[in-house]
Structure formats: C-alpha cells, structure tokens
Amino acid sequence: MTFEHGSDTDQISPTLLIALARTKSNENIRLYRDRNGVAGLATAVEYARDYVRSRTSARVMAREEGIPVLEAETILQELRDIVLSVEPALSDEPHLEAFDAAVDESSLE
C-alpha cells in the first residue's frame, strides 16, 4: 500500500504502522512525527532499513533531509529496534563494520 504527498510516494508498511503506534509511548518517535509528519516518518523508516543494513548513516540522513545529525541519529536508533523486530531478515545481511573489522584483524597478522 502506498500514499502520495506532493510529488513523492511512500509505502505504508507494517514497520511504519508499528512506528506510528509507538508514537503513543515513545516520545522521540512522537516528536519526530510531529516535526516531520507521517511522510517524514515513512522516509525515516526507509533510512532505518538502510541503517540496519549498514548502507547509510545518520550524517547522510541529516544532510539529505536537512535535519540535525543528533535528530537523525535519535530517530534511526529508535526505528532500528522496530525494523529488526518487524523485518528480522534484515539482520542476516552482512554488515560493513564486521567486514572492516575482519580486514583490520587480518592486516595485523
């Protein structure tokens, strides 16, 4: 299911629905939604998926979305747990940090 806002289209996913439900109990998610709207939260969920996969960072999100790095880091951390609980298969993908650590360890030998 998708929704359009302006010229953009976002997906209404189970992850987004859980994040919206958590706005009642999670002040950080509620504040982000209040500042950026549901469309902004949907965009943050997409960034969180890439964040879980180690494909993006809070700095990238902050720059691309025009928000402070601290705000991006906060929402990514809050959404990370939701993404992992709703989409556990994402945690099985290889992570760049683990690969970098393996390379660093092998170069020490």
> Over the stretch 14-55, which tens digit does the pLDDT of each residue have?
899 999 999 999 999 999 999 999 989 999 999 999 999 989
User: What are the sequence ranges of the domains in the chain?
Assistant: 2-108
The C-alpha atoms of residue 102 and residue 94 are separated, in whole angstroms, by: 12
Burial class (CB in 10 A: 0-12, 13-18, 19+), 76: buried
pLDDT digits (tens, 9 = 90+) for 59-107: 999 999 999 999 999 999 999 999 999 988 876 555 555 545 444 454 4
